[in-house]
Amino acid sequence: MAERAFVEKMKRAGFTGIEIVQRDAFGVDDARLHPLFTADLIEVIRKTVPTDKQHQVATSVVIKAHLATG
């Protein structure tokens, strides 16, 4: 999901003080460690993404936010 869309969904859910605290790019080999990236998807990425671009196929984002309760 695009970072901007995710932040908008958080706002609609009532989160405030939304702050991106970390961004980490990862490549195809790193993606293999995440359940979202199935073996089939990894194969498609390797076939379709140019070799010189495979070092950055995704970005993980850590977001800090507050949700008012009560």
pLDDT at 47: 96
Domain locations in the chain? 3-67
pLDDT tens, position by position, 6-51: 999 999 999 999 999 999 998 999 988 888 889 999 999 999 999 9
Give pTM, 2 decimals: 0.64
- CA 2/CA 6 separation, integer angstroms: 6
- Taking CA atoms, 47 is separated from 8, 29, 35, 55, in Å, by 33, 14, 20, 14
pLDDT at 14: 93
What average pLDDT does the segment 57-67 reach?
92
- CA 63/CA 41 separation, integer angstroms: 26
- Taking CA atoms, 14 is separated from 8, 17, 34, 65, in Å, by 10, 10, 28, 10
